[in-house]
Protein backbone atom coordinates (compact mmCIF):
# COMPACT_ATOMS: atom_id res chain seq x y z
CA UNK A 1 0.00 0.00 0.00
CA UNK A 2 2.94 2.34 0.57
CA UNK A 3 3.86 2.58 -3.10
CA UNK A 4 0.42 3.78 -4.38
CA UNK A 5 0.26 6.29 -1.55
CA UNK A 6 3.69 7.64 -2.48
CA UNK A 7 2.68 7.94 -6.13
CA UNK A 8 -0.53 9.69 -5.17
CA UNK A 9 1.37 12.11 -2.92
CA UNK A 10 3.78 12.98 -5.72
CA UNK A 11 0.92 13.54 -8.13
CA UNK A 12 -0.75 15.80 -5.58
CA UNK A 13 2.43 17.86 -5.12
CA UNK A 14 2.86 18.20 -8.88
CA UNK A 15 -0.74 19.34 -9.23
CA UNK A 16 -0.34 21.92 -6.45
CA UNK A 17 2.87 23.22 -8.01
CA UNK A 18 1.15 23.58 -11.39
CA UNK A 19 -1.79 25.40 -9.81
CA UNK A 20 0.58 27.69 -7.92
CA UNK A 21 2.42 28.58 -11.15
CA UNK A 22 -0.87 29.15 -12.95
CA UNK A 23 -2.04 31.41 -10.13
CA UNK A 24 1.24 33.34 -10.21
CA UNK A 25 0.86 33.72 -13.96
CA UNK A 26 -2.65 35.13 -13.57
CA UNK A 27 -1.43 37.57 -10.92
CA UNK A 28 1.43 38.66 -13.17
CA UNK A 29 -0.98 39.14 -16.06
CA UNK A 30 -3.17 41.31 -13.85
CA UNK A 31 -0.17 43.45 -12.88
CA UNK A 32 0.86 43.89 -16.51
CA UNK A 33 -2.71 44.74 -17.58
CA UNK A 34 -3.07 47.26 -14.75
CA UNK A 35 0.22 48.89 -15.67
CA UNK A 36 -0.83 49.25 -19.30
CA UNK A 37 -4.30 50.52 -18.36
CA UNK A 38 -2.91 53.22 -16.08
CA UNK A 39 -0.17 54.47 -18.43
CA UNK A 40 -1.48 54.01 -21.96
CA UNK A 41 -4.23 55.88 -23.75
CA UNK A 42 -6.49 54.32 -26.40
CA UNK A 43 -4.50 56.28 -28.98
CA UNK A 44 -1.28 54.58 -27.89
CA UNK A 45 -2.79 51.14 -28.37
CA UNK A 46 -4.25 52.13 -31.76
CA UNK A 47 -0.79 53.32 -32.78
CA UNK A 48 0.73 50.03 -31.70
CA UNK A 49 -1.81 47.87 -33.55
CA UNK A 50 -1.65 50.00 -36.70
CA UNK A 51 2.13 49.90 -36.82
CA UNK A 52 4.35 47.05 -37.96
CA UNK A 53 5.92 46.71 -34.49
CA UNK A 54 4.53 43.26 -33.66
CA UNK A 55 5.28 41.65 -37.08
CA UNK A 56 8.82 43.03 -36.87
CA UNK A 57 9.23 41.66 -33.34
CA UNK A 58 7.95 38.26 -34.47
CA UNK A 59 10.45 38.19 -37.33
CA UNK A 60 13.38 39.09 -35.09
CA UNK A 61 12.41 36.50 -32.50
CA UNK A 62 12.05 33.75 -35.09
CA UNK A 63 15.56 34.55 -36.35
CA UNK A 64 16.77 34.29 -32.74
CA UNK A 65 15.09 30.90 -32.33
CA UNK A 66 16.66 29.72 -35.58
CA UNK A 67 20.07 30.77 -34.27
CA UNK A 68 19.55 28.95 -30.97
CA UNK A 69 18.43 25.85 -32.86
CA UNK A 70 21.59 25.97 -34.99
CA UNK A 71 23.69 26.34 -31.82
CA UNK A 72 22.13 23.16 -30.39
CA UNK A 73 22.62 21.32 -33.68
CA UNK A 74 26.31 22.32 -33.85
CA UNK A 75 26.99 20.30 -30.68
CA UNK A 76 25.95 17.02 -32.30
CA UNK A 77 28.21 15.00 -34.56
CA UNK A 78 26.92 14.47 -38.12
CA UNK A 79 24.76 13.04 -39.44
CA UNK A 80 22.00 14.74 -37.49
CA UNK A 81 18.48 16.03 -38.12
CA UNK A 82 17.95 19.12 -40.26
CA UNK A 83 18.16 22.72 -39.08
CA UNK A 84 14.41 22.97 -39.60
CA UNK A 85 13.91 20.18 -37.04
CA UNK A 86 15.98 21.95 -34.40
CA UNK A 87 14.27 25.26 -35.16
CA UNK A 88 10.84 23.67 -34.79
CA UNK A 89 11.75 21.96 -31.52
CA UNK A 90 13.21 25.18 -30.15
CA UNK A 91 10.04 27.12 -31.02
CA UNK A 92 7.83 24.47 -29.42
CA UNK A 93 9.98 24.43 -26.27
CA UNK A 94 9.75 28.23 -26.01
CA UNK A 95 5.98 28.12 -26.61
CA UNK A 96 5.45 25.58 -23.84
CA UNK A 97 7.57 27.61 -21.42
CA UNK A 98 5.60 30.76 -22.29
CA UNK A 99 1.98 29.59 -22.14
CA UNK A 100 1.88 26.28 -20.25
CA UNK A 101 2.22 26.30 -16.43
CA UNK A 102 5.14 23.86 -16.40
CA UNK A 103 8.71 24.49 -15.31
CA UNK A 104 11.61 25.04 -17.69
CA UNK A 105 12.60 21.44 -17.00
CA UNK A 106 9.20 20.29 -18.24
CA UNK A 107 9.66 22.25 -21.48
CA UNK A 108 13.14 20.74 -21.88
CA UNK A 109 11.74 17.23 -21.46
CA UNK A 110 9.25 17.92 -24.22
CA UNK A 111 12.13 19.08 -26.43
CA UNK A 112 14.02 15.85 -25.70
CA UNK A 113 10.95 13.78 -26.56
CA UNK A 114 10.53 15.61 -29.87
CA UNK A 115 14.22 15.14 -30.68
CA UNK A 116 13.79 11.41 -30.06
CA UNK A 117 10.76 11.39 -32.33
CA UNK A 118 13.00 12.88 -35.02
CA UNK A 119 15.38 9.93 -34.67
CA UNK A 120 17.88 11.01 -32.02
CA UNK A 121 18.80 8.66 -29.20
CA UNK A 122 17.83 9.54 -25.65
CA UNK A 123 21.36 10.01 -24.33
CA UNK A 124 22.41 12.23 -27.27
CA UNK A 125 19.27 14.37 -27.06
CA UNK A 126 19.47 14.78 -23.27
CA UNK A 127 23.21 15.40 -23.08
CA UNK A 128 23.31 17.84 -25.99
CA UNK A 129 20.35 19.83 -24.64
CA UNK A 130 22.00 20.00 -21.20
CA UNK A 131 25.24 21.32 -22.69
CA UNK A 132 23.32 23.72 -24.93
CA UNK A 133 21.51 25.15 -21.89
CA UNK A 134 24.87 25.61 -20.15
CA UNK A 135 26.37 27.44 -23.10
CA UNK A 136 23.27 29.60 -23.46
CA UNK A 137 23.49 30.54 -19.78
CA UNK A 138 27.14 31.56 -20.23
CA UNK A 139 26.23 33.62 -23.32
CA UNK A 140 23.47 35.35 -21.36
CA UNK A 141 25.96 36.32 -18.64
CA UNK A 142 28.29 37.83 -21.26
CA UNK A 143 25.33 39.66 -22.85
CA UNK A 144 24.32 40.98 -19.42
CA UNK A 145 27.89 42.20 -18.83
CA UNK A 146 27.67 44.17 -22.07
CA UNK A 147 24.35 45.68 -21.03
CA UNK A 148 25.54 46.56 -17.53
CA UNK A 149 28.72 48.10 -18.92
CA UNK A 150 26.71 50.31 -21.26
CA UNK A 151 24.33 51.25 -18.46
CA UNK A 152 27.19 52.28 -16.18
CA UNK A 153 28.54 54.58 -18.88
CA UNK A 154 25.16 56.32 -18.98
CA UNK A 155 24.42 56.26 -15.24
CA UNK A 156 27.54 55.56 -13.15
CA UNK A 157 25.75 55.33 -9.81
CA UNK A 158 27.40 53.47 -6.93
CA UNK A 159 24.17 51.72 -5.94
CA UNK A 160 23.66 50.45 -9.48
CA UNK A 161 27.23 49.19 -9.63
CA UNK A 162 26.75 47.24 -6.40
CA UNK A 163 23.50 45.58 -7.43
CA UNK A 164 24.90 44.76 -10.86
CA UNK A 165 27.95 43.13 -9.30
CA UNK A 166 25.74 41.08 -6.96
CA UNK A 167 23.51 39.91 -9.80
CA UNK A 168 26.38 38.96 -12.07
CA UNK A 169 28.15 37.22 -9.20
CA UNK A 170 25.09 35.10 -8.47
CA UNK A 171 24.74 34.28 -12.16
CA UNK A 172 28.38 33.23 -12.35
CA UNK A 173 28.02 31.06 -9.25
CA UNK A 174 24.92 29.38 -10.69
CA UNK A 175 26.76 28.66 -13.95
CA UNK A 176 29.79 27.26 -12.08
CA UNK A 177 27.53 25.02 -9.98
CA UNK A 178 25.68 23.82 -13.08
CA UNK A 179 28.95 22.90 -14.79
CA UNK A 180 30.25 21.28 -11.59
CA UNK A 181 27.14 19.11 -11.30
CA UNK A 182 27.68 17.94 -14.88
CA UNK A 183 31.38 17.26 -14.40
CA UNK A 184 30.96 15.31 -11.17
CA UNK A 185 28.28 12.99 -12.48
CA UNK A 186 24.98 14.69 -11.72
CA UNK A 187 23.38 13.03 -14.74
CA UNK A 188 24.16 9.61 -13.29
CA UNK A 189 21.23 10.20 -10.93
CA UNK A 190 19.03 10.76 -13.98
CA UNK A 191 20.40 7.55 -15.49
CA UNK A 192 19.48 5.63 -12.34
CA UNK A 193 15.95 6.98 -12.50
CA UNK A 194 15.63 6.05 -16.18
CA UNK A 195 16.88 2.54 -15.42
CA UNK A 196 14.15 2.12 -12.80
CA UNK A 197 11.52 3.41 -15.21
CA UNK A 198 12.72 1.04 -17.93
CA UNK A 199 12.60 -1.97 -15.63
CA UNK A 200 9.09 -1.06 -14.51
CA UNK A 201 7.63 0.16 -17.81
CA UNK A 202 9.82 -1.10 -20.68
CA UNK A 203 7.55 0.36 -23.38
CA UNK A 204 8.15 3.95 -22.24
CA UNK A 205 11.80 4.11 -23.30
CA UNK A 206 13.28 3.04 -26.64
CA UNK A 207 16.53 1.73 -25.12
CA UNK A 208 17.40 -0.34 -22.04
CA UNK A 209 19.71 2.31 -20.57
CA UNK A 210 20.88 5.85 -21.23
CA UNK A 211 24.56 6.80 -20.94
CA UNK A 212 23.79 10.47 -20.34
CA UNK A 213 26.92 11.24 -18.32
CA UNK A 214 29.31 9.55 -20.76
CA UNK A 215 27.69 11.25 -23.71
CA UNK A 216 27.80 14.64 -21.98
CA UNK A 217 31.51 14.27 -21.17
CA UNK A 218 32.12 13.34 -24.80
CA UNK A 219 30.37 16.53 -25.91
CA UNK A 220 32.35 18.57 -23.37
CA UNK A 221 35.57 17.43 -25.06
CA UNK A 222 34.47 18.81 -28.44
CA UNK A 223 35.83 22.30 -27.73
CA UNK A 224 35.43 23.67 -31.27
CA UNK A 225 31.72 22.79 -31.37
CA UNK A 226 31.22 24.29 -27.92
CA UNK A 227 32.88 27.53 -29.00
CA UNK A 228 30.76 27.70 -32.17
CA UNK A 229 27.56 27.18 -30.15
CA UNK A 230 28.63 29.91 -27.73
CA UNK A 231 29.25 32.42 -30.52
CA UNK A 232 25.89 31.63 -32.13
CA UNK A 233 24.04 31.98 -28.83
CA UNK A 234 25.74 35.29 -28.02
CA UNK A 235 24.97 36.57 -31.50
CA UNK A 236 21.32 35.58 -31.07
CA UNK A 237 21.10 37.41 -27.75
CA UNK A 238 22.70 40.54 -29.23
CA UNK A 239 20.37 40.39 -32.23
CA UNK A 240 17.46 40.61 -29.77
CA UNK A 241 18.30 44.30 -29.29
CA UNK A 242 17.02 44.81 -32.85
CA UNK A 243 13.54 43.92 -31.58
CA UNK A 244 13.59 46.83 -29.14
CA UNK A 245 14.91 49.21 -31.80
CA UNK A 246 12.28 48.17 -34.36
CA UNK A 247 9.40 48.48 -31.89
CA UNK A 248 10.52 51.94 -30.79
CA UNK A 249 10.96 53.07 -34.41
CA UNK A 250 7.55 51.66 -35.43
CA UNK A 251 5.68 53.55 -32.68
CA UNK A 252 7.49 56.82 -33.39
CA UNK A 253 10.00 56.73 -30.51
CA UNK A 254 13.37 55.76 -32.03
CA UNK A 255 15.94 54.61 -29.48
CA UNK A 256 19.71 54.52 -29.45
CA UNK A 257 21.53 51.25 -29.97
CA UNK A 258 23.07 51.35 -26.48
CA UNK A 259 19.63 51.82 -24.89
CA UNK A 260 18.25 48.87 -26.88
CA UNK A 261 21.07 46.58 -25.73
CA UNK A 262 20.59 47.69 -22.10
CA UNK A 263 16.83 47.11 -22.17
CA UNK A 264 17.10 43.71 -23.87
CA UNK A 265 19.96 42.37 -21.73
CA UNK A 266 18.54 43.40 -18.35
CA UNK A 267 15.03 42.46 -19.43
CA UNK A 268 16.23 38.93 -20.16
CA UNK A 269 17.77 38.78 -16.68
CA UNK A 270 14.39 39.70 -15.19
CA UNK A 271 12.71 37.03 -17.30
CA UNK A 272 15.20 34.42 -16.08
CA UNK A 273 14.69 35.55 -12.47
CA UNK A 274 10.93 35.14 -12.79
CA UNK A 275 11.19 31.63 -14.25
CA UNK A 276 8.65 30.24 -11.75
CA UNK A 277 5.94 32.43 -13.31
CA UNK A 278 4.80 31.33 -16.80
CA UNK A 279 6.27 33.79 -19.29
CA UNK A 280 7.57 35.89 -16.35
CA UNK A 281 4.24 37.73 -16.53
CA UNK A 282 4.40 41.00 -14.64
CA UNK A 283 8.08 40.61 -13.77
CA UNK A 284 9.38 41.33 -17.26
CA UNK A 285 6.92 44.17 -17.83
CA UNK A 286 7.67 46.04 -14.62
CA UNK A 287 11.40 45.57 -15.18
CA UNK A 288 11.18 47.06 -18.68
CA UNK A 289 9.55 50.17 -17.22
CA UNK A 290 12.24 50.47 -14.54
CA UNK A 291 15.09 50.00 -17.02
CA UNK A 292 13.45 52.47 -19.41
CA UNK A 293 13.46 55.05 -16.64
CA UNK A 294 17.20 54.49 -16.08
CA UNK A 295 18.01 55.16 -19.74
CA UNK A 296 15.60 58.09 -20.06
CA UNK A 297 12.73 56.43 -21.95
CA UNK A 298 9.19 57.71 -21.23
CA UNK A 299 6.99 55.24 -19.34
CA UNK A 300 4.50 55.14 -22.22
CA UNK A 301 7.21 54.01 -24.66
CA UNK A 302 8.51 51.40 -22.21
CA UNK A 303 5.02 49.95 -21.74
CA UNK A 304 4.40 49.94 -25.50
CA UNK A 305 7.58 47.90 -25.87
CA UNK A 306 6.40 45.52 -23.13
CA UNK A 307 2.96 45.12 -24.75
CA UNK A 308 4.50 44.55 -28.19
CA UNK A 309 6.79 41.86 -26.76
CA UNK A 310 3.80 40.14 -25.13
CA UNK A 311 1.84 40.21 -28.38
CA UNK A 312 4.90 38.77 -30.11
CA UNK A 313 5.04 35.94 -27.57
CA UNK A 314 1.37 35.08 -28.11
CA UNK A 315 1.74 35.27 -31.90
CA UNK A 316 4.51 32.66 -31.78
CA UNK A 317 3.50 30.55 -28.78
CA UNK A 318 -0.05 29.70 -29.87
CA UNK A 319 1.05 28.26 -33.26
CA UNK A 320 3.92 26.54 -31.43
CA UNK A 321 1.54 24.73 -29.10
CA UNK A 322 -0.70 23.74 -32.01
CA UNK A 323 2.36 22.42 -33.85
CA UNK A 324 3.33 20.38 -30.79
CA UNK A 325 -0.13 18.82 -30.55
CA UNK A 326 -0.11 18.12 -34.29
CA UNK A 327 3.14 16.19 -33.90
CA UNK A 328 1.89 14.30 -30.83
CA UNK A 329 -1.19 13.21 -32.77
CA UNK A 330 1.00 11.30 -35.20
CA UNK A 331 1.71 13.86 -37.93
CA UNK A 332 5.46 13.83 -37.35
CA UNK A 333 6.55 13.37 -40.95
CA UNK A 334 4.64 16.45 -42.08
CA UNK A 335 6.60 18.66 -39.68
CA UNK A 336 9.89 17.05 -38.57
CA UNK A 337 11.82 14.96 -41.11
CA UNK A 338 12.90 11.76 -39.37
CA UNK A 339 16.53 10.85 -39.97
CA UNK A 340 16.94 7.12 -40.37
CA UNK A 341 20.59 6.00 -40.02
CA UNK A 342 21.88 3.94 -42.93
CA UNK A 343 24.92 2.69 -41.01
CA UNK A 344 24.55 0.68 -37.78
CA UNK A 345 27.72 2.41 -36.54
CA UNK A 346 25.84 5.70 -36.37
CA UNK A 347 25.06 5.22 -32.71
CA UNK A 348 23.77 8.70 -32.02
CA UNK A 349 20.39 7.78 -33.51
CA UNK A 350 17.82 5.27 -32.40
CA UNK A 351 16.78 2.47 -34.68
CA UNK A 352 13.28 3.88 -34.84
CA UNK A 353 11.59 7.11 -33.74
CA UNK A 354 9.60 7.31 -30.52
CA UNK A 355 5.92 6.63 -30.94
The radius of gyration of the chain from alpha carbons, rounded to an integer in Å, stands at: 21
Tell me the sheet residues that pair with 120. 349
Q: What is the mean pLDDT of the chain?
A: 76
Q: Find, among 291, 310, 149, the residue nearest to 243 by Cα.
A: 310
Please report the pLDDT score of residue 316 as a whole number.
Answer: 92
Q: Find, among 98, 68, 61, the residue nearest to 242 by Cα.
A: 61
Q: Is the pLDDT of residue 292 over 90?
A: no
Tell me the sheet residues that pair with 350. none
Interval 82-100 mean pLDDT: 89
Peptide bond into 152 cis (omega under 30): no
Q: Where are the beta strands (DSSP E) in the chain?
A: none
Please report the pLDDT score of residue 122 as a whole number.
Answer: 83
Percent of the chain with pLDDT over 90: 20
Q: What would the pLDDT profile of 173-186 be if each residue is shown by its tens digit?
A: 877 777 777 777 66
Please report the pLDDT score of residue 343 as a whole number.
Answer: 39
d(CA 257, CA 150): 10
Q: Is the pLDDT of residue 340 over 50?
A: no
Please report the pLDDT score of residue 233 as a whole number.
Answer: 95
Q: What would the pLDDT profile of 57-90 be if each residue is shown by its tens digit?
A: 999 999 999 999 999 999 998 878 889 999 999 9
DSSP string, 213-231: HHHHHHHHT-HHHHHHHHH
Please report the pLDDT score of residue 346 as a whole number.
Answer: 42
d(CA 234, CA 227): 11
Treating both helix axes as pointing N-terminal to C-terminal, what angle do 83-99 and 299-328 enclose, rounded to 10 degrees?
Answer: 120
Tell me the sheet residues that pair with 349. 120
Best-predicted range by mean pLDDT (3-17, 267-281, 307-321, 323-337) = 307-321
Q: What would the pLDDT profile of 41-55 be if each residue is shown by its tens digit?
A: 666 677 777 888 889
Please report the pLDDT score of residue 86 as a whole number.
Answer: 94
Q: What would the pLDDT profile of 22-31 be if each residue is shown by its tens digit?
A: 565 566 556 6
Q: Model-level pTM?
A: 0.79
More confident residue, 161 or 325: 325
SS3 349: strand
How many residues are there in the chain? 355
The helix, strand and coil proportions of the chain, stated in percent and rounded to the nearest 5, come to: 75, 0, 20
d(CA 288, CA 277): 16
Handedness of CA 56, 314, 100, 16 (dihedral sign): positive
| Confidence label for 282 from pLDDT (cuts 50, 70 and 90) | low
Please report the pLDDT score of residue 347 as a whole number.
Answer: 45
Q: What would the pLDDT profile of 155-171 be if each residue is shown by its tens digit?
A: 766 566 666 667 677 77
| Confidence label for 232 from pLDDT (cuts 50, 70 and 90) | very high
Interval 318-322 mean pLDDT: 90
Please report the pLDDT score of residue 29 as a whole number.
Answer: 59
Amino acid sequence: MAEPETTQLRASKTCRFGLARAGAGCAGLAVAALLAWRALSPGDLVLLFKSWAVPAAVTVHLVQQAGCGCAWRSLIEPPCPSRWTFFSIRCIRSSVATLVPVSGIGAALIAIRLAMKAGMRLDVAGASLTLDATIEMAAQIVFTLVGVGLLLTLSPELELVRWSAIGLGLGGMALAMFIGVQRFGGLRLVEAGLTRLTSRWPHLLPMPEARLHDQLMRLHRRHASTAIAGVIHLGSWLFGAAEIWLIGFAVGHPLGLASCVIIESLGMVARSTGFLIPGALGVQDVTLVMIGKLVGIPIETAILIAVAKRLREISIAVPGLLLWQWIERGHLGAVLPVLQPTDPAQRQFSSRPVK
